């Protein structure tokens, strides 16, 4: 018996010719892992992702070490990477102190992380929905004055473990306000993985009605309920061409019992290859990288594609 290592390609009318993958494995993927990954292995992880063709890799975050111990070595990781090379290496910064550290490290792209709901704003930022803007405004202003590119995440866009369903108007209002601080891209997060395709399409349309078209949006799906790939397909059909993914499906949400990780980069790449859409990613090298990281974490990869392509052939 042989193994299919690539999907059959069938182009679908109306879909883009290429998609940008915003790899979040080294930051969002690793930040909640209980197994501590050595600094050198984090650097190797990024280097291997670059070798696999990923052009944008969010490598770490300048948060307080006692909040996210896994990323306490952010400056050391960045010191080992070529931040002036062709690959974009953004860093998440929560506040002005984080921005100072990012600038000192030579970072050229930053991201801020806001919330559409009060529960996560309190749990993650110790702020309300309203006061989070006061925290981000000087960060974005200074970053733009320094010539840095700024991405804005908005989390809990489809559901919230404290309040349940989240109104579309609430998400659009918060997202637009974050974007209007001076960001160049807005990443829409399904933090607890409850979105479904029609909900995705509705929200993208609502952002378009508010003046934020799919060209400035990215989608960030979690696979808690097994919907991430179908949601990505819905977003693709709605015109979105940037997707946040994590190699091997690394990641998870600490606020959702049983939550699995981000949409696996390999799973999205397989679907896009089948649609004839370019990503620039070498799937074989990416699978090797995710398998290597799974070994460091001492658990199987969450990616269905990784599991399928590495299963023994009998």
Q: Which of 37, 74, 81, 253 is catalytic?
A: 253
Please, which pLDDT band fits residue 75 given cuts at 50, 70 and 90? very high
- Joined tokens for residue 50: 């670059």
Please, which pLDDT band fits residue 67 given cuts at 50, 70 and 90? confident
pLDDT in tens, 240-252: 999 999 999 999 7
Domains belonging to the chain, first-starting first, are: 20-309 (3.20.20.70)
pTM: 0.96
Q: What is the pLDDT of residue 313?
A: 84
Please, which pLDDT band fits residue 144 given cuts at 50, 70 and 90? very high
157 is catalytic: no
pLDDT in tens, 28-41: 999 988 899 999 99
Q: What is the pLDDT of residue 194?
A: 95
């Amino acid at each position: 018996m042989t193994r299919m290592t690539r999907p059959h390609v069938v182009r679908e009318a109306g879909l883009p010719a290429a998609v940008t993958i915003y790899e979040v494995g080294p930051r969002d993927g690793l930040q909640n892992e209980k197994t501590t990954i050595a600094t050198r292995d984090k650097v190797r992880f990024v280097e291997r992702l670059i070798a696999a063709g990923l052009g944008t890799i969010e490598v770490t975050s300048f948060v307080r070490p006692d909040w996210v111990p896994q990323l306490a070595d952010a400056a050391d990781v960045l010191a080992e990477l070529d931040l002036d090379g062709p690959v974009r290496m953004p860093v998440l910064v929560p506040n002005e102190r984080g921005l100072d550290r990012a600038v000192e490290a030579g970072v050229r792209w930053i991201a801020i992380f806001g919330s559409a709901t009060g529960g996560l704003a309190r749990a993650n930022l110790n702020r309300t929905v309203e006061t989070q803007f006061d925290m981000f405004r000087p960060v974005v202003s200074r970053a733009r004055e320094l010539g840095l590119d700024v991405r804005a995440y908005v989390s809990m866009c489809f559901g919230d473990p404290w309040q349940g369903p989240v109104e579309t108007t609430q998400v659009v209002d918060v997202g637009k306000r974050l974007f209007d601080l001076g960001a160049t891209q807005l990443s829409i997060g399904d933090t607890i993985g409850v979105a479904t395709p029609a909900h995705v399409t509705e929200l993208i349309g609502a952002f378009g009605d508010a003046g934020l078209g799919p060209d400035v949006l990215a989608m960030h799906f979690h696979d808690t309920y097994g919907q991430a790939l179908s949601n990505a397909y819905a977003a693709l059909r709605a015109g979105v061409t940037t997707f946040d993914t994590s190699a091997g499906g690394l990641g998870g949400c600490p606020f959702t019992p049983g939550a699995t990780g981000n949409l696996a980069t390999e799973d999205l790449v397989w679907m896009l290859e089948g649609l004839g859409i370019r990503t620039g990613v070498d799937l074989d090298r990416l699978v090797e990288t995710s398998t290597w990281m799974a070994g460091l974490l001492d658990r199987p990869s969450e990616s269905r594609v990784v599991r399928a392509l590495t299963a023994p052939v009998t």
